[in-house]
Structure 1
Amino acid sequence: MITTLHEGWTVTAVSSTGQSRPVVAGLPATVPGCVHTDLLTAGVIADPYLDDNEVRLTWIGRTGWSYETAFVWEGTEDDRADLVCEGLDTVATVLLNGVQLGQTANQHRSYRFPAKHLLVEGRNTLKILFEAPYTYAERQRAALGDRPGAYGQPYQFIRKMACNFGWDWGPTVVTSGIWRPIYLHTWSAARLAEVRPLVTVADGVGEVEVHVTADRASQVPLTLTATVAGVVEQVRLAPGERTAVLRLTVQDPDLWWPRGYGDQPLYPLTVRLGDGVSTDVWTKEIGFRTVELDREAFRIVVNGVPVFMKGFNWIPDDCFPNRVTRERLAQRFEQAIGTGANTLRVWGGGLYESEDFYALADALGILVWQDFPFACAAYPEEGAFRFEVEAEARQHVTRLASHPSLVLWCGNNENLEGYADWGWQEKLQARSWGSGFYYELLPRVVRELDPTRPYWPGSPYAGSPELPPNDPAHGSTHIWTVWNREDYTFYATYQPRFVAEFGFQGPPTYATLRRSVSDEPLTPSSKGVMHHQKAVDGNGKLLRGLGDHLPEPGTFDDWHYYTQLNQARAMMFGVERFRALAPYCMGTIVWQLNDCWPVTSWAAVDGDARRKPLWYGMRRAFADRLLTFQDASVGAAHGVAGDVAVLAVVNDTGEPWAGELAVVRQSIAGEPLAKQEFPVTVPPRGTLAVPLPASLGAADPARELLIATLGDARALHFFTEDPATDFPPAEFEATTEPTGDGVRVSITARTVLRELAIFPDRLDPEATVDDQLVTLLPGETATFQVTGDVDPDALLAYPVLRCVNEAQL
């Protein structure tokens, strides 16, 4: 029986490292939760996500905390009573009725403590003392020797969510608390301690190898039964036996496929331990599929089919992860698949995600690349730290074995590159840095517990310690030359095998920025806006990134529109480039899908869950069928002779794409100047590079463009950047029509309208629009559906309605 212990908690500040702090004693606490959210609920602190409140809250991470509750225990006839702590953050001592029950030092682990010997009938007290995270981490650093990292924080010395200590997109809010459920579990005879299903399929036959470990309270014979797809297997555990393997054979199971490649059938697998009087039951859904990593080409192969992985990096969706509900995760997944994504990479500076996360991925066909939680630092390998790493790895490899969506375990994020290229070796002075984890311990754990899935030592990684880790020609690569130093057109100099990380910043939506920052006036460099920009020289890079692509912004509204638009264009340029190189390149994973708070960042969905223009751009760039103008290097990669530009026709569907490809050169005013038609057939999952003849070259670049169409797909190519293009002032006709939940806006272009966008959140923070960044040619019409309580006339006014060549207002 499970008895939750989530009521009646209080929290008290019990120690500090010298920082002044308010008196906090006996404050009501929410479990699961954390001290920040408890203090926020009680009004002790201001919201750390607003303005620069964060900077006044560093004392929280330097304070020890005591969580206490009392509960009534009526006794039990069961053999055992265990206290189960699914998540303690992080270094804790657990006291039951004043007696130490156990200690913890790892946010990533769950713990079970035998407790029956300390329970009494009637009132019991439970206290959990949390050591200040900084105190513990700094003590470990002093004992083990300092090690380099990307930030001046000791996150590599404590097994805790690294980005809790601040990142270039996240605040420093170092938490403590009971962040996952805590309960008493009473049981008799035996219980299922571990169930680890290994699922394989070959020649139409599915095999489920169920590895079971039982905890025993008595040495009696036990019956163990496993059932899936109508197949039942049973074994007997003799007295003293704790482990068994049940093998179930399923004929002709329906295969689980990634999104866009097929369906996602799932089969309930049930394991029962006991004789029917005292029975423990475990049930999860599994999927039948194979997954391999072609290490030479670095591509994921599912059911024998290479999969082009297009998607996003995933960071913790909140700095306080207990606030991330299944409903919130479902919204994020819908936002991801709304772009056409089929992959999420769970980044190594965060967490092993919740069961809800992986269950949603299973159901929706989203492939999950799972980093082990190591990021951007050299990690110690000595003593208790090594024990903690192995314990957490064993727990989570076992826990996640049932999920067909999980297709790759990866040892770390950027630590191999850091050791090779960031000057760590001299600073380390031969101290350990994590290589034993990535090359030995973690692959050993995966081989032992889950040989059905591939393991990769890190990202970026070129496949051998002898190669430069970030070599684009091998393995997975991260591209940060763009954004940090180079213009986004520099993506065209790369021919990567797999891009696991690349990104370009843009501010959050206006409503999100306005909610989180109270600056008056609001400017790109006002205090609150700058505090919500964590990247080094972030705003400088935003402005330099506009380059020759867009006009220099003269107002805050221009800055906001142009930098958001430039973010979308930059990532569309990169994604289209890498997709055009398929099948040589087989992955493009954008940094990043989501934010953990309201901030200027690389995300497509901002910290208040609003879609930025980047989201709409990714929906175009991730389209299953894509036309994209590319330079001669893409043509050469596909065997096109001569130094000629090409139109890449990318078909990421299971059917051929055939038709008449038309490419028209026309004037900005709409006059046709030249046209070429090409009969094309692109095989399933194929890419075709069509060379563009000289007749399609511009005679007057500032006044001409190319338009390519094939079926419903279209691509535009302007020969010059926007400030150098001879755009006429925008002219259009617009109508609005109320609908049941908003307004339908129709716009007909009299002139070209470059990157037309409506930003309804400026009128109503809850308002949304179904499309953005639409370029209309003269005579064309676009219809936008705005949802929300908005004034129809205001939707047509600056700065809600924008385009690059808008008439001066």
Structure 2
Amino acid sequence: MRVDGGEDLLRTLDLAELEWTVRLSSAPDASAPDACGAGAALPADELASVRAGIPARVPGNVHDDLLRAGIIPDPYRDDAVNGLAWIGEGDWTYEAPLPDGAVRAGGRERAELVFEGLQTVAVVEIDGVPVAHTENMHRRHGTDVTGLISPHGSRISVGFASAARVMREREAADPGGPLPYDWAYPYNRLRTMASSVGWDWAPPLVSAGIWRPARLEVWEGIRLRSHVRTSLAPDLTDGELIVDVELAAAGDAVARGKVDIRLGDRTWTIPVDGATSVRLPVAAPELWHPRGHGDPVLHEVVIGVVGTGTCERHRVAFRHVALDTAVDEWGRRFGLVVNGIAVQARGANWIPQDLLMSRVGEQRCIGLVGEAVAANMTMLRVWGGGVYEQDAFYRACDEAGLLVWQDFAFACAAYPEEEPLRAEVEAEAREQVRRLAAHPSVVLWNGSNECLQGWDDWGWRERVGTRTWGESYYRRLLPEIVAEEGCGTPYVPSSPFSSSPGVAPNADGEGTVHLWDQWNLLDHTTYRDHVPRFVAELGHQAPPAWATLRAALTRMPGRGDDAQLDHRQRQIGGMRHLVRRLDGHVPEPDALLDDLDDWLWATQLQQAEALRVAAEHLRGRWPRTTGLLVWQMGDAWPGISWSIVDHAGRRKPSWYALRRAFAPRAVSLQPIDGTPYVVLVNDTGEPWQAHVALRRVHVVDGELAAELLEVTVPPRDTARRRLGAEVVLPHRRREEVLVADVGELRATMMLCRPDGVRWAAPRPAVNIVRDADGWDVTVEADVLLADVSIMADRLAPAASADDQLRTLLPGESTTFRILAGGSLSGADHTDPSAWSARPLLRTRNDLWHR
């Protein structure tokens, strides 16, 4: 039987509108081995209410439902998370009544339940009848429920088994024993967010819930489903619009009809008999370009069933991307080429924005993408220990011209390749590559994070033996799926990764590297000892903003080694590293622990300095080094980590340092072979006629010597010039600093070991002008002031500064714009004395005069 194209009578019920409850359907077994604190018990009355059921939200998670009910504290406040492991060890059931009339009587309708995300092991039931079983947080689940929902109302339930218990049970059932992984649970046994079991930047927080939107779709007649993507020839002239169309009829009918496909002024009409896939030629399309290379042009595609009002709209773009791994004089290149032009990747790694991912709405996600754009980034890497991001993330990157390196969800573990995991991996990968194929921003797929390195460097060979560990995923299954579904997007099996056979991961002359010795073992200045082809990870820790800590702690500590702060640190030895990385850069680092304000400022400043040094050095090595992605963009909780924007969305000083170092045109002073050079980077399409004003400046007396350089930097190129002896050679090394100015750009360089500089005591003059939105704060330097910053969150939690880390020579002044972020009623805040000293005004000089 066939049904010709007719009106689509689709009705959608957002399941968020239902009255949900959640109940503890099976309590954790406190005696279970490795139950990770499951024995933390609730008072009897609260346990009874949780067993009976409490109000719940969809999308959501059981932690937030318990928090709203007043049963648990905020997991991120103080050390509350330590007592909440029992939640992840229990089984939970979400239930809600479907309203009368959700489906109509008569049997002419078709109904489908759609869950965009379930976390993680779930059984979906309608009136007690199981209709779906899911075991993958990373997949969309659609289930035909035609005939199962009563027109007079039914009840839907989603029962979640403890993911923590399932992970342990599956590991225990493996006759070969454990496979390598880290953290609290064997996340390599289940397709869930790896970092939910803890990481070196977040605590374990295994939850359950309907974590992404869910809906009931009901229709009669014909239902249109379509999927679009594009391809573009390397010569950029011939494009294709690839369209998959399915017409689904209610009941058992097979649908047929005609479909119009419109792209700009082009229209194609095609017949559809159930389903079809077509490749439509698009000559000379207007191209999508990455940031700094042109406009990110997007096109709307409208697909409609002829003779009906049924249509779907999509956005596509045309661009060609390739991965250049050719051999050159330095080894083997690793660089992305978009529309025939080699692009300079500068950006950050993107981890989950919250451990409870249902908390991350579109605006929060788009806001952090905006922070990357504002910091002059050109690429974000979606890291494999998190999730495949929501559609809003990729749309925002498409619109901004921001490149996306997309990991598959494998990280730092050996993964079995047998069933049932293998089938889930294949279905997940195919769904996600197909979903993201239309997004021009997605320019690279990566099979795994540090999994090949684990095999080569972390002793996995001996521990795994002859068992499977994921290699066939990374080298066969995943690249096959990308080739079939990814429309020419390049693929690499892991990061770090060496392109040449037989070369181990993490080699400077090959592929991608992760530079972690500088944080774990060495001084950040040793970044200059490396000239890799592409740095996919490097980072330096710092605490969050003061206001972010204050909101997370009942008692604000007075010292930098307080136990409350130590709980925010999830890396073993991380607190020690924070202080030891200050050795040689500030006087008496250990004494900083005595004062929280100074400890915060010094460690935040050190993160900024470390990332600045890395970014300036590596960008100056273009085109040998083609990319740098710092670890990490944001935070999953209010912790001490490598983020440059903290969990509350506040910028750390390192964000401002990277904004300068990542600017399309940037200037720096760097020691090269022991001699100071000025390094100019021009990542624009036009030559840069740079007038470089070089000075040697005394920290109190001002300019001592000067030199003017005229440098032309070609498009997409760098230039290095050695400084003249008169400027470089100091009279009093510990009291003099080199300064390079190119227009509004400024770079500085110390002439001795950083902690040996005799910074003068700061006594700046400050003037404040208030208006309806905030303050203009002008700071005038009496001596050389290094890294002048206003910590606006100390004024008001919502306040923010337009800039930080400015250097002022004696007699110079600068104006900061401070936005209040809310109402200015109340205190005037125009007393200059309040703005002219710590903790509101900070300089590097402060740390020499504590």
TM-score band by shorter chain is over 0.9
Partner of 2:830: 792
Give the aligned partner of residue 3 of structure 1.
Answer: 13
In the alignment, which residue of structure 2 is the partner of 1:208?
A: 241
The residue type paired with residue 109 of structure 1 is: R
Query: 2:163 aligned with 1:133, yes or no?
Result: yes
Deviations 1:617-664 (A, max 9, x none): 11111111111122335xxxxxxxxx7442211111111001332322
* Distance (Å, rounded) in 1 between the aligned partners of 2:701 and 2:294: 42
Question: Which of 248, 254, 258 is residue 219 of structure 1 equivalent to?
Answer: 254
Give the Cα separation in 2 of the matches to 1:617 and 1:337. Answer: 14
| 1:541 aligns to 2:577 (yes or no) | yes
- What is the CA–CA distance in structure 1 between the aligned matches of 2:130 and 2:490, rounded to whole Å? 41
- Amino acid across the alignment from 2:734: A
Deviates more, 1:478-487 or 1:790-799: 790-799
Aligned to 2:406: 370
Correspondence for 2:62: 35
Of 580, 603, 606, the match for 2:620: 580
> Which one of 69, 85, 89 corresponds to residue 62 of structure 1?
89
Kept in 1, the 8 Å contact 2:322–2:337? The answer is yes
CA deviations 1:70-109 (Å, max 9, x no partner) are: 1124233544211111111111111111111110000001
- Residue 638 of structure 1 corresponds to none
* 1:98 has 2:128 as partner: yes
> In the TM superposition, what is the alpha-carbon distance from 1:5 to its structure 2 partner?
2.2
The one-letter code sitting in structure 2 at the alignment partner of 1:764 is: A
User: Match for 1:35: what amino acid?
Assistant: V
1:622 is aligned, of 651, 659, 662, to 662
* Residue identity in the other structure for 1:8: E
Query: Which runs of 5 or more residues in structure 2 are unaligned?
Result: 1-9, 31-38, 327-332
One-letter code aligned to 1:18: D
Equivalences for residues 156-235 of structure 1 within 5 A: 156-188=188-220, 190-193=222-225, 195-201=227-233, 202-215=235-248, 217-235=252-270
1:69–1:126 contact (8 Å) kept in structure 2: yes
1:553-605 CA distances to partner (integer Å, 9 max, x unpaired)?
Answer: 24221111100100100000001110010111110111111011111111111
Q: Helix, strand or coil: the match of 1:170?
A: coil
* Distance in 1 of aligned mates of 2:310 and 2:497: 43
Deviations 1:341-397 (A, max 9, x none): 111110111111111110111111111111011111111111110000010111111
CA contact (8 A) 2:240 2:279 kept: no
Deviation of 1:698 (Å): 2.8
Residue 275 and residue 787 in structure 1: after superposition, are their counterparts in 2 closer, same or farther (change >3 A)?
closer
Cα distance between partner residues in 2 of 1:323 and 1:599: 17
Deviates more, 1:619-628 or 1:539-548: 619-628
Query: What is aligned with 1:647?
Result: 678
1:727 match: 759
Structure-to-structure mapping, 1:345-494, within 5 angstroms: 345-494=381-530
Change (3 A) 1:513 1:520: closer
Alignment of 1:288-307 (within 5 A): 288-296=318-326, 297-307=333-343
For the 8 Å contact 2:260–2:306, the answer to whether it is kept is no
Q: Which ranges in structure 1 are unaligned for 5 or more consecutive residues?
A: 634-642
Match of residue 742 from structure 2: 710
Q: Is the 8 A contact 1:477 1:500 kept in 2?
A: yes
Q: Which amino acid aligns with 2:167?
A: A
The one of 132, 135, 145 aligned to 1:115: 145
Counterpart code for 1:223: K
1:193, CA displacement in angstroms? Answer: 4.7
Contact preservation (8 Å) 2:230, 2:318? no
Match of 1:782 in 2: 814
Query: Post-superposition shift, 1:526?
Result: 1.7
User: How far apart, CA to CA, are the structure 2 residues paired with 1:644 and 1:488?
Assistant: 18
> Match for residue 558 of structure 1?
598
Whichever residue aligns with residue 263 of structure 2, its letter is: V
Does structure 2 retain, via aligned residues, the 8 Å contact 1:311–1:590?
yes
Which residue number in structure 2 is paired with residue 694 of structure 1?
A: 725
Q: Which residue of 1 aligns with 2:35?
A: none
| Aligned 8 A contact 2:167 2:185 in 1 | no
What is the alpha-carbon distance in structure 1 between the residues aligned to residue 732 and residue 558 of structure 2? 41
Q: TM (normalized to structure 1)? A: 0.95
SS at match of 1:33: coil
1:203–1:47: structure 2 CA closer, same or farther, 3 Å change rule? closer
Q: What is the CA–CA distance in structure 2 between the aligned matches of 1:536 and 1:420, rounded to whole Å? A: 23
Distance in 2 between residues matched to 1:336 and 1:531, nearest whole Å: 28
- Opposite residue 691 of structure 1, the aligned amino acid is R
Q: Using the aligned pairs only, state the percent identity.
A: 39
SS in 2 for 1:116: coil
Secondary structure of the structure 1 residue equivalent to 2:203: strand
| Aligned-pair CA distance for 1:520 | 5.1
**Matched AA of 1:227:** R
Instruction: Confirm or deny that 1:677 pairs with 2:677.
Output: no
Instruction: Determine the C-alpha separation between the residues in 1 that align with 2:109 and 2:650.
Output: 51
Cα deviation, 1:393-444, whole Å, max 9, x if unaligned, reads: 1111111111111111111111111111011111112211111110000000
Q: Does 1:151 align with 2:189?
A: no
Q: What letter is aligned with 2:14?
A: T
Task: Please identify, of 211-220 and 415-424, the stretch whose mean Cα deviation from structure 2 is larger.
Answer: 211-220
1:749 equivalenced with 2:781 (yes/no): yes
Equivalent-residue separation in structure 2 for 1:150 and 1:646 (angstroms): 44
Partner of 1:312: 348
Q: Does 1:762 align with 2:794?
A: yes
Residues 232 and 248 of structure 1 are in contact (CA less than 8 Å); yes or no, is this contact kept in structure 2? no
Cα deviation, residue 312, structure 1: 0.9
Q: Tell me which residue corresponds to 1:610.
A: 650
Check the 8 A contact 1:81/1:187 in 2, yes or no: yes
Classify 1:393/1:203 alpha carbon distance in 2 versus 1 (closer, same or farther; 3 Å). closer
Aligned residue for 1:135, secondary structure, equals: helix
Could you say what secondary structure the match of 1:83 adopts?
Answer: strand
Show structure 1 runs of 4+ deviating over 4 A. Answer: 213-217
Distance 1:165 1:541 in 2: 24
What is the root-mean-square deviation of aligned Cα atoms in Å? 1.8
3-state SS of paired residue (2:472): helix
Tell me which amino acid in the other structure corresponds to 2:483. R
Alignment partner, residue 50 of structure 1: 77
1:798–1:568 distance in 2 versus 1, CA, 3 Å: same
Amino acid at match of 1:792: T
1:243 aligns with 2:276: yes
Task: Show the 5 A alignment for 1:509-524.
Answer: 509-519=545-555, 521-524=557-560
TM-score normalised to structure 2 length: 0.91
CA distance in 1 between partners of 2:100 and 2:444 (Å): 44
Question: 1:233 aligns to what SS in structure 2?
Answer: strand
CA distance in 2, matches of 1:609, 1:420: 37
| Cα distance change, pair 182–311 in 1 and its aligned pair in 2 (3 A) | same
Deviation at 1:192, TM superposition (A): 4.2
Superposed displacement of residue 671, structure 1: 4.5
Q: CA separation in 1, counterparts of 2:523 and 2:113?
A: 56
Shift of 1:733: 1.6
> Which of 632, 640, 643 pairs up with 1:592?
632
Residue pair 2:547, 2:794 contacting (<8 A) in 1 also: yes
Aligned length: 795
Give the match's secondary structure for 2:640.
coil
